[in-house]
Amino acid sequence: MRRSSAFPRILKNYFRVKPLSALLLALLVATVHFFDRGDASLGRVTQVIDGDTIVVTTEDGKSEKVRYLLIDTPELHHPTRGEEELGRIAALENKNLVLGKKVRLEEDVERRDRYNRLLAYVWTEGSGGEVLVNEELVRRGVAMPFTLPPNVRYVNRIRDAFREAREQRRGLWNAAAGRHFTGEQVWAELPTLAGCFITLEFRAARMEKKGTRHLLFEKKGHTAIVVYESDRPHLPSLDALASGKLVLVGKVQTGREGAEIILRDPTQIVTLGP
């Protein structure tokens, strides 16, 4: 969509109009700013699948399944893990933000994932202006950062929102605040804790590398902290993580080696010391 040739004249005369007209014009300018962007496509959200996936009907009538970039929300329809803690709440928050609304889909370097879903930053209009929905879900505590290069355009905004959620104990942070477990306890209670957010107290004794995953284990038990190779650049070194007592917040998952908690972002770390 191209701007009308009258648009520059509108701006030139902005301060010459009456106050009420100026207000209406300001709203018009904001609308043009939101929807008149050459680096994005427009559409309307027709379905919310879960906390980080939606269906959008674009302006040309095409239906696109869209996966939000840079975030990961608890599962709602996972074929093996089922519904995880906060999965339904994350989907509801997402629905309240976008369902039935016009959105702008901003792409990054890689356009699609292996499931052929469109990867995008999803923008909508809020009461205070533009809202980056990916960021807002993290700020509300129902999503975690999920950085996967080369799509990293707004990674700092996502991490800042995650820190804010932590400081305010929103969502997953509030859930994990009263749940303190050791690795042995997590393994013993895995059937109950799988899919839940906890605070883990951990002291690594050994490390293993399996493909793109680095696993830190304690001397006893079958609970591992998992660090993906793609996340290593923005985390403390593996040696630092293994050098002392580590307290972190994360979601318990059932893995091949037993219980797993994935460490993706430094904000998950509560303390790291001797």
Query: Looking at the annotation, which residues are catalytic?
Result: 67, 75, 117
**Amino acid identity, residue 20?**
L
Question: How far is the C-alpha of 160 from the C-alpha of 62, rounded, in Å?
Answer: 34
Which residue in this structure is represented by tokens 């403390």?
236
Question: How far is the C-alpha of 22 from the C-alpha of 77, rounded, in Å?
Answer: 48
Of 269, 251, 253, 265, the residue nearest 145 (C-alpha)? 265
Which token pair is 149? 């290069």
Question: How far is the C-alpha of 33 from the C-alpha of 242, rounded, in Å?
Answer: 48
- Give strand pairing partners of 199: 180, 249
Evaluate whether 67 touches 119 at the Cβ level (below 8 Å): yes
β-bridge pairing 197-203 and 180-182: parallel
